[in-house]
């Protein structure tokens, strides 16, 4: 045992093409796509960095690749890419709208050894269809059922806004009926097309109320009810919060994960439209150390507006994508300021 | 709207052509076969490229050492927190 595992993920947007046009999507336009060969070379690039971290620093790593889009099933070489990653020894998962997963596709996903598929579901039928298009709710549910019947772990992810925050109880019951592993909730980031829903983002009072309510469902549901939002995780923490130089958990951007877009652009997070390099041209190992943006996300002293002095900094830092999106709405290019929806931050 | 449609169509055609060039037999192709056929650069060669051709400077290596030292210390301290913290 070398130490606590470094859970590192690469979220890879293989395509920006999508069969839906969701109103809250973070996309703002189409880009060219890397070929399968370019993707495999880029995977080698990342793999080389992981190998160096393990051998030279004795890091115990559990890296994973999360493939998404756009809609990843629109890439005809998706299974070839999954096969390559699996042969490299990494865990794979998929994030999809579920509408293209028929019985045969679900079988292929199982055979490809994908650890889990995260399906986006944004409310009950009328709400979901108003955000994602008429008929998409039933097609998404069919996709989930196909995965479950093939024994593939399916999880639901919901983007929370004022539009759907009152439907949690019914959605948790629906998740139980569908037999998914978990239902997770993430806050709406008003970026890309999602800017059009800025007025539907939650206030800090609504965030506090929503995660408080979620806590009740966690204790009384047959399905795992969770959130990857650092603000939700704080409520679950036990004991003293360690005061460390480097973050321990919380927002993964630049610390525990990275995003690669369809054209190879590397970003700290897909919802932070902040390019730091391109995987086709850069050594991932060097970029991880050298990038000023990634470096600043790891340094407490670079934060301001309250986050830097918060006792939860090492385990939270709010959502950097929301901080950036709301700063941009005011004309500032600031990803290190306060998360304006944080109920724990007194100074904003 | 029309612009978006044309862009989407262009990407579809581009994707089709890309796939056609790389994988004539299409969906679910066997990458091992492609590697053997020489239609794809070997994985080992690529790793060698990133490791040796782009050797890290001493300055960068020192920076990397400090980064992983801090990270290991932080991860060690995370053991004292409840499990859900790491979720």
Enclosing H/E stretch for A92? strand A91-96
pLDDT for residue B1: 53
Strand partners, A269: A272
Strand partners, A183: A156, A225
Question: Coil, strand, or helix at residue A158?
Answer: strand
Q: Quick check: A48 and B50 in contact, CB under 8 A?
A: yes
Biggest CA pair distance of chain A? 53
Chain A's closest residue to B25, CA to CA, is A77
pLDDT at B8 over 60: no
Mean pLDDT of A154-168: 97
Pick from A306, A303, A310: which is nearest to A335 by CA?
A: A303
Q: Quick check: A66 and A106 in contact, CB under 8 A?
A: no
C-beta atoms of B31 and A87 within 8 A:
yes
Confidence of residue A186 (pLDDT cuts 50, 70, 90): very high
Phi/psi for B13 (5° steps) reads -65, -45
Chain A residues with CB inside 8 Å of B38's CB?
none
Phi/psi for A311 (5° steps) reads -65, -15
Confidence of residue B3 (pLDDT cuts 50, 70, 90): low
pLDDT at B51 over 80: no
Structure tokens at A192: 């890309």
The span from the CA of A334 to the CA of A302, in Å, is 11
Give the global pTM.
0.85
C-beta atoms of B31 and A40 within 8 A:
yes
Say how many CB pairs under 8 Å bridge A and B. 156
Question: Coil, strand, or helix at residue A40?
Answer: helix
The span from the CA of A125 to the CA of A114, in Å, is 28
Q: Mutating which of A2, A58, A246 best tests the B interface, going by the most B Cβ atoms within 10 A?
A: A246
Mean pLDDT of B42-71: 71
Pick from A255, A135, A137: which is nearest to B74 by CA?
A: A255
Alpha helices (H) in chain A, listed in sequence order: 36-57, 78-87, 103-111, 125-132, 136-149, 168-178, 204-219, 230-234, 284-290, 292-297, 320-329
Confidence of residue A272 (pLDDT cuts 50, 70, 90): very high
pLDDT at B18 over 80: no
Q: What is the DSSP string of A284-327?
A: HHHHHHH-HHHHHHT-GGG--TTGGG-TTGGG----HHHHHHHH
Structure tokens at B32: 């091992």
Dihedral class, residue A39 (left if φ above 0, else alpha if ψ from -120 to 50, else beta): alpha
Structure tokens at A114: 């994908």
Tell me what percent of the residues of chain A surpass a pLDDT of 70. Answer: 98
B80 vs A30, A242, A298: nearest CB: A242
The span from the CA of A248 to the CA of A239, in Å, is 14
A226 vs B19, B40, B87: nearest CB: B87
pLDDT for residue B11: 53
Pick from A66, A156, A64, A150: which is nearest to A105 by CA?
A: A150
Mean pLDDT of A268-283: 95
Question: Coil, strand, or helix at residue A192?
Answer: helix
Confidence of residue A237 (pLDDT cuts 50, 70, 90): confident
The CA angle A237-A116-A320, to the nearest 5 degrees, is 45
Mean pLDDT of A178-186: 97
Confidence of residue A24 (pLDDT cuts 50, 70, 90): confident
Structure tokens at A143: 């996709």
B81 vs A7, A29, A239: nearest CB: A239
Confidence of residue A124 (pLDDT cuts 50, 70, 90): very high
Q: What is the ipTM of this complex?
A: 0.90
Pick from A82, A142, A139: which is nearest to A116 by CA?
A: A82
Confidence of residue A157 (pLDDT cuts 50, 70, 90): very high
- What rounded mean pLDDT belongs to chain A? 93
Confirm or reject contact between B75 and chain A (CB < 8 A): yes
C-beta atoms of A283 and B86 within 8 A:
no
Q: Is A110 exposed, middle or buried (0-12, 13-18, 19+ CB in 10 A)?
A: middle
Contacting B residues, span 6-65, partner chain A, CB-CB under 8 Å: 7-8, 11-12, 14-15, 18-19, 21-23, 26-31, 40-41, 43, 46-47, 50-51, 54, 56, 60, 63-65
pLDDT for residue B31: 44
Contacting A residues, span 257-316, partner chain B, CB-CB under 8 Å: 283-286, 288-290, 298, 314-315
A303-335 pLDDT tens trace: 999 999 999 999 999 999 999 999 999 999 999
pLDDT at B86 over 60: no
The span from the CA of A57 to the CA of B72, in Å, is 9
Q: Is A220 exposed, middle or buried (0-12, 13-18, 19+ CB in 10 A)?
A: exposed
pLDDT at A347 over 60: no
List of residues 6+ apart from A332 with CB closer than 8 A: none
The span from the CA of A230 to the CA of A234, in Å, is 6
Sign of CA dihedral A80, A81, A82, A86: positive
Confirm or reject contact between A229 and chain B (CB < 8 A): no
The span from the CA of A26 to the CA of A18, in Å, is 12
Q: What is the DSSP string of chain B?
A: -HHHHHHHHHHHHHHHHHHHHH-TT-SS--HHHHHHHTSS--HHHHHHIIIIITPPPHHHHHHHHHHHHHHHHHHHHGGGS-GGGG-
């Amino acid at each position: 045992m070398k130490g606590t595992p470094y859970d590192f993920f690469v979220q890879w947007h293989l395509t920006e093409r999508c069969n839906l046009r969701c109103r809250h999507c973070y996309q703002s336009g189409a880009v060219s796509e890397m070929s399968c060969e370019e993707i495999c070379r880029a995977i080698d690039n990342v793999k080389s960095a992981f190998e160096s971290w393990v051998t030279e620093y004795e890091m115990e790593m559990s890296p994973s690749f999360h493939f998404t889009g756009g809609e990843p099933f629109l890439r005809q070489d998706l299974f070839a890419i999954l096969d390559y990653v699996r042969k490299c020894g990494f865990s794979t998962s998929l994030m999809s709208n579920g509408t293209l997963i028929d019985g045969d596709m679900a079988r292929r996903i199982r055979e490809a050894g994908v650890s889990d598929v995260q399906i986006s579901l944004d409310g009950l039928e009328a709400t979901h269809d108003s955000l994602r298009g008429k008929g998409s709710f039933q097609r998404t549910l069919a996709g989930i059922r196909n995965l479950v019947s093939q024994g593939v772990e399916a999880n639901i992810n919901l983007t929370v806004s004022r539009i759907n925050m009152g439907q949690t109880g019914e959605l948790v019951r629906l998740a139980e009926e569908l037999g998914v592993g978990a239902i997770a909730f993430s806050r709406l980031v008003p970026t890309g097309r999602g800017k059009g829903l800025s007025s539907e983002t939650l206030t800090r009072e609504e965030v506090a109320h929503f995660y408080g309510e979620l806590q009740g469902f966690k204790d009384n549901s047959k399905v795992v009810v969770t959130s990857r939002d650092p603000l939700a995780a704080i409520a679950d923490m036990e004991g003293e919060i360690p005061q460390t130089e480097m973050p321990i958990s919380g927002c993964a951007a630049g610390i525990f994960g990275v995003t690669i877009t369809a054209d190879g652009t590397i970003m700290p997070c897909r919802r932070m439209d902040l390019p730091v390099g391109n995987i086709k041209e850069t050594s991932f190992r060097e970029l991880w150390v050298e990038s000023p943006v990634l470096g600043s996300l790891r340094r407490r002293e670079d934060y301001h507006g309250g986050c830097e002095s918060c006792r939860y900094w090492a385990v939270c830092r709010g959502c950097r994508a929301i901080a950036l999106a709301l700063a941009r709405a005011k004309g500032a290019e600031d990803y290190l300021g306060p998360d304006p929806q944080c109920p724990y931050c007194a100074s904003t | 709207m029309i612009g978006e449609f044309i862009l989407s169509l262009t990407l579809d055609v581009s994707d089709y052509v890309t796939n056609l060039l790389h994988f004539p037999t299409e969906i679910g192709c066997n990458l091992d076969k492609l590697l053997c056929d020489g239609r794809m650069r070997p994985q080992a060669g690529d790793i060698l490229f990133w490791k040796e051709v782009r050797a890290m400077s001493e300055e960068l290596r020192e920076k990397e050492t400090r980064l992983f030292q801090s990270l290991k210390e932080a991860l060690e301290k995370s053991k004292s927190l409840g499990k859900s913290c790491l979720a």
